[in-house]
Amino acid sequence: MITISKVGPVWVATAPFEMKDVLKNAGMYWHPGPLACTKSGCKACRNGILKSWWTESIDKAAELVRYADDACRAELEIFGVKCEASLQASTCLSADIEVPTKLPLFPFQRAGVKFIEDHGGRALVADPMGVGKSAQAIGFLVRNPAALPALVVAPASVKVQWTREVSKFSGLSVSILSGTSSQRSFEKLGLKLFPGCPTDVVVANYDLLRRNLQLLEQHGFRTLVLDEASAIKEPKSQRSKAAIRLSRLIPNVILLSGTPLLNRPKELWNLTQAVDPDVFPNFFHFAKRFCDAKQVQISRSGDMAWDFGGASNLGELNTLLRKRVMVRREKEEVLTELPEKTRVIFPIALDKEPKDQAKRLAKLAKKKAELDTWREKLGTLSTADRKIYLTKHAERAAEMAGMTGVLISEIQDIQKAVAFAKMPGAIERLLEMLSEGSKILVFVHHHEVNDEVVKQLSSAGIKCVRVDGRDGPAERQKAVDAIQEGDAQVAVLGIMAAGMGLNLTAAQDVVIYELPWSPNSVDQAEARSWRHGQQGRVTTYFFVAAGTIEESIARMLDAKR
């Protein structure tokens, strides 16, 4: 007969030999006893476990609750009831609670707020991109004043957007933690800077966590929100270590991620460590079960290493996450509640910064400052005095006139370099979107970028069409028909050549791959899909390369709206 008991934090099972498969299939591990165990740091050994089956996971022990002794049966039964309730709530589309935000939340967003509350303020909100995860985090803060102050950590490109979301949905005060180089631009937008201004919500970006860790640890935050939480997927990165350290100190931890993480279970590990380390207390056990862990040969001499890059038992993983920490509703389930058009910034981390980008940007900034000073000087003069001044400084005037063209050319070169640098991450995201059955319009600026996007998607088996300034009317119409009525999945479009006049309502996802300088160009690109004849909701994704000139352009576009 099997008997389940609890020794410290470990669940232990004793059973006759013929019933070992019951325990093995439940996910328990055999421990040979302290004398025979060869594993360093073995938790079973540390807890004095002799020859028996064991697990750190209460989820696995709960599957065997019928075998539990009297001392631990009640704990396992209560846990099982909570898990079943969480599983039901993880797909819930409404909740009968009041969330006193300035703008009313959709029913499914109220259900998300309730899920966070029911899980003690620690949850992974994994709704798809564009359905309003930030509003659910803000709703939790509004409903729970004791959860303030809150620290929101997000990619740099969406920090301003976060301050506006907080102000739109609540009366909470908000400030930004900024590097010294960006402080002036934030002040021009009228934003408060932390730590000078104590506020209810502080917005920081991931790259600032490590160098400001002591300041953040000492501030007394009650809630930590990690937006685009896949940014901490690598356990060894400095930003991940800092985020995990904060998650241990701060009582409420809310992770927001619309990326379909279940396709890459390894990347989920560190996220669960931030929300609830007890979900998967042992990485190796997690990897063997869900990452298809296996040993592979890594050298001709026969050296072996573990490969954790696979995926296995994904249905079980999905259910387990929903039982413990994750709420996720599919986009088609909430589609009728969403606005007709939604904009989402999708930051893309670069493995390597485009060559010499920082130096080139510094030189451009210096040139632009010179040009601005020259123009300001001319602006102070009357028409007559300006003519006299230009005559006296003819050589300088010629230099300044030529500088405008140089600046444009230099900036375009940098933008092109960034567009190619973010290509791997962008293609990966496009393939994920396509796996959900979407048709996508991708807007670019440079012909070379257009060709490369088409090449890479085509090599992945995606049927693409292309429209830019090189195409005549017949080719353009053929591409339109392929998207509207044919089996083409992606149209890669020049934002200047295809930004007007085309009707492409078969697609509901629009990607701005290369950011234009004008908000009007974005409006025109969106209008290819969001127009008469569109039957669904349109989502526009801005693919922004983190830490590059594109973040400046994204802030500029946002400020102009």
Structure confidence by residue, pLDDT tens digits, 64-119? 888 888 888 999 999 999 999 999 999 999 999 999 999 999 999 999 999 999 99
pLDDT at 362: 56
Does any domain span residue 399?
Answer: yes
- 536 in the same domain as 555: yes
Residues 249 and 108 in one domain: yes
- Does residue 365 share a domain with residue 329? no
Q: List, for residues 429-470, the tens digit of each pLDDT value.
A: 898 888 777 899 999 999 999 999 999 999 999 999 998 889
Q: Give the number of domains in the chain.
A: 4
Q: Provide the token pair at 70.
A: 């009297």
Most confident of 268-272, 410-414, 533-537: 268-272
Which of the 8 DSSP states describes residue 103? Answer: S
pLDDT at 486: 86
Same domain, 181 and 287: yes
Residue 399's domain spans which residues?
358-406
Position 297 scores a pLDDT of 85
- When pLDDT is cut at 50, 70 and 90, the band that residue 140 belongs to is very high
Cα dihedral sign for 209, 212, 216, 218?
positive
Q: Rounded to the nearest 5°, which phi and psi values hold at 162?
A: -65, -45
Q: Domain check: are 126 and 206 in the same one? A: yes
Residue 368 has pLDDT above 80, yes or no: no
Q: What share of the chain in percent tops pLDDT 70?
A: 91
Gap between the Cα atoms of 101 and 340, Å rounded: 21
Q: Are residues 147 and 218 in the same domain?
A: yes
Q: Does the pLDDT value for residue 406 go beyond 60?
A: no
Q: What is the mean pLDDT of residues 119-126?
A: 97
Task: Give the integer Cα–Cα distance in Å for 233 and 261.
Answer: 10
**φ, ψ of residue 250 in degrees (nearest 5):** -95, 130
Contacts of residues 87-95 at CB distance under 8 Å and 24 or more positions apart, as own/partner, are: 87/319, 87/322, 87/323, 89/114, 89/115, 89/118, 89/327, 90/115, 90/322, 90/323, 90/326, 90/327, 90/328, 91/322, 91/327, 91/328, 91/329, 91/333, 92/327, 92/329, 93/329, 93/333, 93/334
pLDDT of 104 reads: 95
Distance CA 19, CA 2 (A): 8
Q: Is residue 342 in a domain?
A: no
The Cα 189–Cα 197 span in angstroms is: 15
| pTM for the whole structure | 0.74
Mean pLDDT, the chain, as a whole number?
Answer: 86
Q: Is residue 130 part of a domain?
A: yes
Give yes or no for a cis peptide into 195 (omega within 30° of 0).
yes
Q: CA separation (Å) from 211 to 99, 200, 216, 249, 348?
A: 36, 22, 10, 17, 22
231-265 confidence digits (pLDDT tens):
999 999 999 999 999 999 999 999 999 875 677 89
* 406 φ, ψ (degrees, to nearest 5): -65, -45
Check: CB of residue 240 under 8 Å from CB of residue 210.
no
Judged by average pLDDT, the poorest of 36-45, 345-354, 477-486 is 345-354
Query: Does residue 417 lie in a domain region?
Result: no
φ, ψ (nearest 5 deg) of residue 148 = -100, 155
Q: In what order do the strands lie in the sheet with 3-7?
A: 3-7, 10-14, 52-55, 29-31
**What is the CATH classification number for the domain harbouring 493?**
3.40.50.300
Whether residue 294 sits in one domain with residue 207: yes
Q: How far apart are CA 557 and CA 561, in angstroms?
A: 7
How far, in Å, CA of 122 to CA of 360, rounded?
43
pLDDT value, residue 402 = 59
CA triplet 41, 47, 48: central angle to 5 degrees?
A: 105
Give phi and psi for 487, each to the nearest 5: -105, 15
* Domain final residue pick, 29, 56, 82: 82
Looking at residue 344, its amino acid is V
Residue 344 lies in a domain: no
Among 505, 446, 502, 440, smallest CA distance to 473 is for: 502
- The answer for residues whose C-beta is within 8 angstroms of residue 302's C-beta and 6 or more apart is none
Quick one: what percent of the chain has pLDDT higher than 90?
Answer: 43
**Residue 358 pLDDT more than 70?**
no
Residue 253 is part of a domain; what is its CATH number?
3.40.50.10810
| All residues at 6 or more sequence positions from 422 whose CB lies less than 8 Å from its CB, including other chains | 348, 350, 543, 545, 548
Residues 139 and 246 in one domain: yes
Residues 295 and 384 in one domain: no
Task: Check residue 202 and give its pLDDT.
Answer: 97
Q: What's the whole-number mean pLDDT along residues 124-128?
A: 93
Q: CB 16: neighbour CB atoms within 10 A?
A: 8
Does any domain span residue 211?
yes
**H/E segment holding residue 348:** strand 341-348
Write a three-state SS string for 247-314: HHHCCEEEEECCCCHHHCHHHHHHHHHHHCCCCCCCHHHHHHHHCCCEEEECCCCCCEEEECCCCCCH
Q: Containing H/E element for 102?
A: none
Q: In the numeric block, which tokens belong to residue 179?
A: 């590097």
CB atoms under 10 Å from CB of 433, counted, come to 21
Q: What is the pLDDT of residue 363?
A: 65
Given 35, 54, 82, which residue is the final one in a domain?
82
Length reported for the chain: 561
Q: Which segment of 44-48, 68-72, 136-140 scores lowest on mean pLDDT?
A: 44-48
Domain boundary at 373, 406, 439, which? 406
Q: Which residue type, as a one-letter code, is found at position 494?
A: G
Query: What pLDDT is attached to residue 501?
Result: 65
Q: Distance (Å, rounded) from C-alpha 130 to C-alpha 342?
A: 6
Residue 493 inside a domain? The answer is: yes
Distance CA 472, CA 466 (A): 12
Supply the pLDDT for residue 414.
Answer: 78
- pLDDT of residue 371 exceeding 90: no
Report, as an integer, the average pLDDT of 322-331. Answer: 93
> Do 366 and 431 sit in the same domain of this protein?
no
C-beta atoms surrounding 467 within 10 Å: 24
More confident residue, 355 or 192: 192
Q: How many C-beta atoms surround the C-beta of residue 267 within 10 A?
A: 19
**The token pair that represents 110 in the structure block:** 């109220």
Residues 304-324 have a mean pLDDT of 92
- 461 and 383 within one domain: no
Residues linked to residue 24 through DSSP beta bridges, in sequence order: none
Put the strands of the sheet holding 509-512 in their side by side order: 341-348, 538-545, 509-512, 440-444, 490-494, 464-467
- Answer yes or no: is 221 within a domain: yes
- Say yes or no: 226 and 145 in one domain: yes
